[in-house]
Amino acid sequence: MAVGLAAAALPVNLLAKEKEEEEEVSTNEDLMREHGILKRVLLCYDEVIRRIRARQDFPPQTVTDGATIIRKFIEDYHEKLEENHLFPRFRKAGKLTDLVDVLYTQHQAGRRVTDRVLSAVASLKSQDDRNRLADDLAAFNRMYAPHEAREDTVLFPELHKVVSPHEYDSLGEQFEKIERQTFGGDGFDIYRDKVEAIEKQLGIYDLAQFTPK
Ligand SMILES: [Fe+2]
Ligand SMILES: [Fe+2]
């Protein structure tokens, strides 16, 4: 009762400010907005694929930068969260184990494709080189669009059945801590800015251009 009265006495805008400073992001929201960054890199890859197939130019740096986001933010961070904190809990609970096996295998396959993309883009000499790069980017997109959609709609919702509400909350806090340690700040903000810069270079940042007339 006393706490309620104290809170009621605080100006509304001050309460809102305090809430903003805490900015608690739940476990699934955290993972899903990381998928949003992944999706935006896939869209950059799509634009590069389109240009290669149309024999148009593109800045190779956009591919290097995109693949570097994938490496540092998705493969070495986001997927590690899934592999170290989610997959073992599903395996232990005996839930969605076939799906978890496929997701894990795809992480490893994705890393091999990213290795190839990074080395290919560093030595693009002929149209054959560009076509091979387009094939790798396309294979990456073909796998990751359904991969992340399956996690969003099947794996993550099921997490609520595998862990208690308390464990779910503390997982989110753990993820925040790992994120700060890994990136020295809010990795999501850092990498959202990076993907935005690539979109601007490729001319796909302006959202309104995609609205059908
Ligand atoms: Fe995954
Ligand atoms: Fe994921």
For the stretch 122-168, pLDDT in tens is 999 999 999 999 999 999 999 999 999 999 999 999 999 999 999 99
Classify 23 in phi/psi space as left (phi over 0), alpha (psi -120 to 50) or beta: left
Closest ligand relative to 106 C-alpha: 1
The per-residue DSSP string of the chain comes to -HHHHHHHHS-HHHHHHHHHHH----HHHHHHHHHHHHHHHHHHHHHHHHHHHTT----HHHHHHHHHHIIIIIIIIIHHHIIIIIHHHHHHHT-SHHHHHHHHHHHHHHHHHHHHHHHHHTT--SHHHHHHHHHHHHHHHHHHHHHHHHIIIIIHHHHHHHS-HHHHHHHHHHHHHHHHHHHSS-HHHHHHHHHHHHHHHHT---GGGGS--
- Please, which residues have CB less than 5 A from ligand 2, an ion? 151
pLDDT at 1: 40
What confidence tens digit (pLDDT) does each residue in 82-121 have? 999 999 999 999 999 999 999 999 999 999 999 999 999 9
Distance 33 CA to ligand 2 centre (A): 10
Distance 188 CA to ligand 2 centre (A): 14
Distance 162 CA to ligand 1 centre (A): 17
pLDDT at 102: 98
Distance 147 CA to ligand 1 centre (A): 6
pLDDT at 20: 47
Distance 63 CA to ligand 1 centre (A): 21
Distance 79 CA to ligand 2 centre (A): 6
Distance 35 CA to ligand 1 centre (A): 9
Distance CA 166, CA 149 (A): 26
Q: How confident is the model at residue 207 (pLDDT cuts 50, 70, 90)?
A: very high
Q: What is the mean pLDDT of the chain?
A: 92
Distance 26 CA to ligand 1 centre (A): 18
Distance 156 CA to ligand 2 centre (A): 9
Q: Are 72 and 64 in contact (CB under 8 A)?
A: no
